[in-house]
Amino acid sequence: MSTDSELASCCTALYDHPAVQLVMGESWHPGGLRLTESVAREMRLGPGMRVLDVGCGRGASAVRLAKSLGCRVVGVSLEQQSIEAARATAARQQVDHLTEFICADLLEAPLGSDSFDAVLMECVLSIVQDKDAAVSRIFDLLRPGGCAGVTDVTVAGPLPDGLRGVLATAGCVGGARPLEAYGELLVRHGLDIEELSELLDVASGFLRDVKGKLLVAEIGMKLGKLPLDPELIRVAKLLLTEAQGLVNAGVLGYGLVLARKPG
């Protein structure tokens, strides 16, 4: 893909597909809401803090932070259907007064400088082509002393061709970087690193979960319950098998970066 907008259009179509929603479940990133809550504790989030959830998907993390911690959360996503689902979930969980969901690109979203106590990016930075621009915007949006929490796929070696295409990029693999490179990216744009952590069990656990849900999707397809292209299932299985081998070899992983804007 040659531009961010083209990749965004691809991701929008992919993430809005009912089969993807079945496979990915409530929370679309490795580690799920349990990891979100763990990262929130390390970021020292609490009642009344203003949090930006970049790439918020269907709002699972934003709603959890609002409901369990009393944070005021703004979620930004490129998928209109996801934004509508997020708003509905927030209303159902009675936290719509603490949440706001905006359908926009991070770089163009109408958000004020120095207006957030924290910015959360869960499996998002890897799919952004212009990572420098994204991190620069995060720095601008954070208040002095504010914290950025990034969890994402990491790579420690070259990827095979099968994991370098658009589908792999949309799945947070094709555009992934080594953990240290994410840290260097944040430092380059003025943030101070507080923590770099490899999350060794998250990647394998996520792949096992997706594999099980993919089997359910395949059964649904064969029973005529899901309008799926068999080729999509075949390619997804191959990618999962390839990814699991790379996780076992230590080439693919998942990591956490916490960084703070100087006060």
pLDDT of residue 130: 93
pLDDT of residue 145: 98
pLDDT of residue 17: 53
- pTM beyond 0.85: the answer is no
CB 66, CB 90: distance < 8 Å: yes
Side chain identity at 5, as an amino acid letter?
A: S
Side chain identity at 74, as an amino acid letter?
A: V
> Alpha-carbon distance 253 to 247, whole Å?
6
pLDDT of residue 200: 83
H or E element at residue 99: strand 99-103
H or E element at residue 148: strand 142-155
Regions of the chain short of the pLDDT cut 50: 1-13, 166-170
* CATH architecture of the domain with residue range 4-260: 3-Layer(aba) Sandwich (3.40)
> Alpha-carbon distance 38 to 122, whole Å?
12
pLDDT of residue 29: 78
249: buried, middle or exposed (CB in 10 Å: 19+, 13-18, 0-12)? exposed
pLDDT of residue 61: 97
User: Domain spans of the chain?
Assistant: 4-260
DSSP designation for 191:
P
Q: How far, in whole angstroms, is CA 153 from its chain's centroid?
A: 9
CB count within 10 Å of CB 25 equals 13
H or E element at residue 9: helix 4-15
pLDDT of residue 26: 58
For tokens 């990034």, name the residue.
Answer: 150
Side chain identity at 29, as an amino acid letter?
A: H
Q: What share of the chain is helix, strand, coil (3-state, %, to 5)?
A: 50, 20, 30
250: buried, middle or exposed (CB in 10 Å: 19+, 13-18, 0-12)? exposed
pLDDT of residue 24: 52
H or E element at residue 133: helix 131-141
